[in-house]
Structure 1
Amino acid sequence: MNCKVRMGSIYYEDRGEGTPLLILHSLGTDHRAMKAWIEPIFKNINGYRRIYIDIPAHGNSLVDEKLSSTDDILLNILDFIDKVFPNENFSLIGFSYGGYLAQGILHFRQKQVKSICMLATALHLNERTLPNKVILEKDEDIFSTLESDIKSAFETLFVYQTKENLDCFLKEIQPGRLLANREFLTSNWKEKGYFFTEEPFLDVSEFQQPALVILGKQDNICGYEDYDFLLNKFPNSTFVILDKAGHMLTIEKRNIVQQLIKDWLV
C-alpha cells in the first residue's frame, strides 16, 4: 500500500491487528530486511499490528525534489503516522539508521510512543568509538562468483562471512539494495543533512517507556561504546551488548535477537 505524504509517498505493508508497531529498516535496503526475521516472532504473540515501511528514498517509497535531509525523511514518516494510525499509541523498532529515525519519532511523539527497540542504532554523534574490523569466520569459496558490489557490501557488513549468511543477505537485503534511490543516497545529503536539526532526547532527562537496546561488540559501523547515556535516558530498559556479533546482528545472532524482542513485547 502507498500513503501520500508531504514530500512524496511511503510504501508499507500491514500484518496483524492491535497496537501499531512501526518497523524501520536500515539505509540502503527496504522493509523486507526486517519483515523476514520479525514476522516469525509473532507466530504465538497476538495484539500487534506490524507496520513495515520503506523509509523515504528506499524501496517503493517515493520522494520529491524538496526532500534533502533526515529532518525531511522524519517529517514524511510523521505524516505517515498521522494518516495511517492517527491518535493511537504505538511502539517502535528501528535498526541502524532506522533506529536513529525511531529516536526522532520518540522526540516529537513522546506521548504516543509506548515502547522502543533500537538495534545497532545510529546515534546523533559526529565521531563514534568503533572497534577494529574483525572477521570471525570466512568461507573463501563463496566469493568466487559474486559481483563486486555484492561482495563489497557483504564483506563490509558481516563478521561471519559464511554461505548461510550470504544466502540470507541475498534473499533479505539485496532485493532492497536494488530498489534504493541511489541518486539521493549518493548525493551530499550525508554531509549536509544526515543529522537531525534537533538532537533527540536533549531536552528530556528520562523516558518511562520500556526500551530494548541491542548492540554488537564487533560492530565497526555503529560501535557499542557510545551508548551509556541511553541507560540514563531509559530507566526501564534492557541493554544488551552481544559478543561475537557485528552490525548485522539481526542475521548473525537472529535467535537471540528474536528472543529479546519477544521479552520486550510481552
Structure 2
Amino acid sequence: MPLHFVAHGEGIPVLALHGWTPDHRLMTGCLEPIFTGLPGYRRLYPDLPAMGQSPADGVNSSDGILSAVQAFIDEQIGTTPFLLIGESYGGYLGRAIARARPTQMLGLAMICPIGTVVENADRHLPEHVVLRSEPGVRESLGPDEDFTDLAVVETAAALTAYRRDIAPGLALADIKALERILKKRELTVDPEDGPPYTRPTLIICGRQDAVVGFEDQYALLPHYPRATFAVLDVAGHNLQIEQPELFDSLIREWLKRVAEEA
C-alpha cells in the first residue's frame, strides 16, 4: 500500500518513523533543524498506515504496518544502505527492520521507544509530573487541546512545538482503524529474536516518561552492543520538544558515529 510521505535533501537515505497516532510532522519538526545544516542526507518521512494522510487499507495489526513500511523501503530506498530514526512506536518498528535488514541499516536511533514490554498495562512507568512551567501557558490552551496530558515541560516554546509538530497529526488519525490495530499491536516476531545488531545505535528516554518509561528500554542493551543509552531528566514522552538542545547533541553524535563507520 502506498504511504504518504515527504522527502528532503539528497544523499544517504534516512528513514524517520513517527509514533502511534501523530504523523510525519512529529519527525520533521525535531529532525529538519538538525539536517538542514548537514548536507549529504536524503530524509524520508512517511505517515504510517491509519495516521496522517496514509490510509489504513485493511491493515489490522503491527505486522501489517511493518509490511507497509518494508514495502516503502523497497520502493524508495531499494538496496541502498540507510539510517533509521524511530520515535516511540516507530522505534519498535525500527528494531524489527534492523532485525530484517542488519547489513543494509547503517545505524538505528530511537526516541522514547517502546521497550521490551509492548502492552501499556504491563510497563514500568513513573507517575506523570510537571517539572518546568511558565505562567499563562495553561490559561492559553483551547478547550480541546490535550497538551498537558503528557507534558513534563509546560512552557510557551514547548507548546508552540506541540501545536506545530504533534497536534495536527493527532487530528488526522483514523481512530477506528487504530483501535482495530491496537488489538494486535505486538509483532509476531520479537525484534530481538536474532543476532545482536552491531551498528551504531542511540536510545534516548525521558526520565519522567509516563507513556513508555525508561526501565523497559534498559533491557534492550545486550542486543545493541554499540548503543548509547541516555535517560534525560525533565523530559517526558515528548522529549524532543522538552529537551531540544540535548536531543540535538545526541542525534548529531550518533550521526557522527555512523558516518565514521560507513
- 2: distance between equivalents of 1:210 and 1:95? 17
Is the aligned partner of 1:198 residue 2:189? yes
State the Cα distance separating 1:141 from its structure 2 match.
Answer: 3.0
Unaligned runs of 5+ in 2: 257-262
- Report what 1:131 is aligned to: 126
Is the aligned partner of 1:172 residue 2:165? yes
State the Cα distance separating 1:44 from its structure 2 match.
Answer: 2.9
Task: Indicate if the aligned counterparts of 1:22 and 1:50 stay in contact, CA closer than 8 A.
Answer: yes
Is the aligned partner of 1:207 residue 2:197? yes
Q: How is 1:98-109 mapped onto 2 (pairs within 5 angstroms)?
A: 98-109=90-101
Task: Indicate if the aligned counterparts of 2:132 and 2:234 stay in contact, CA closer than 8 A.
Answer: no
Task: Indicate if the aligned counterparts of 1:124 and 1:199 stay in contact, CA closer than 8 A.
Answer: no
Amino acid at match of 1:32: R
SS at match of 1:98: helix
- Report what 2:151 is aligned to: 158
Task: Indicate if the aligned counterparts of 1:124 and 1:195 stay in contact, CA closer than 8 A.
Answer: no
- Are residues 235 and 158 of structure 1, via their aligned partners in 2, closer, same or farther at CA, if it must alter by over 3 Å? same
State the Cα distance separating 1:144 from its structure 2 match.
Answer: 3.6
- 1: distance between equivalents of 2:144 and 2:63? 29
Q: TM-score scaled by structure 2? A: 0.91
Q: 1:146 aligns with which of 141, 144, 149?
A: 141
SS at match of 2:240: helix
Aligned alpha-carbon RMSD (Å): 1.5
SS at match of 1:239: strand
- Report what 1:224 is aligned to: 214
Q: How is 1:50-61 mapped onto 2 (pairs within 5 angstroms)?
A: 50-61=43-54
State the Cα distance separating 1:140 from its structure 2 match.
Answer: 6.0
- Report what 2:259 is aligned to: none
- Report what 2:39 is aligned to: 46
Amino acid at match of 1:234: Y
State the Cα distance separating 1:134 from its structure 2 match.
Answer: 1.1
Q: How many matched pairs?
A: 253
Cα deviations across residues 114-164 of structure 1 (Å, max 9, x unaligned)?
1000010013413211111111134463334534431xx312221112222
Q: Which moved more, 1:105-114 or 1:241-250?
A: 105-114
Q: TM-score scaled by structure 1? A: 0.90
State the Cα distance separating 1:188 from its structure 2 match.
Answer: 3.7
- 2: distance between equivalents of 1:98 and 1:199? 15
Q: How is 1:49-88 mapped onto 2 (pairs within 5 angstroms)?
A: 49-64=42-57, 66-88=58-80
- Report what 1:257 is aligned to: 247
- Are residues 149 and 97 of structure 1, via their aligned partners in 2, closer, same or farther at CA, if it must alter by over 3 Å? farther
SS at match of 2:113: coil
- 2: distance between equivalents of 1:40 and 1:146? 26
Task: Indicate if the aligned counterparts of 1:124 and 1:200 stay in contact, CA closer than 8 A.
Answer: no
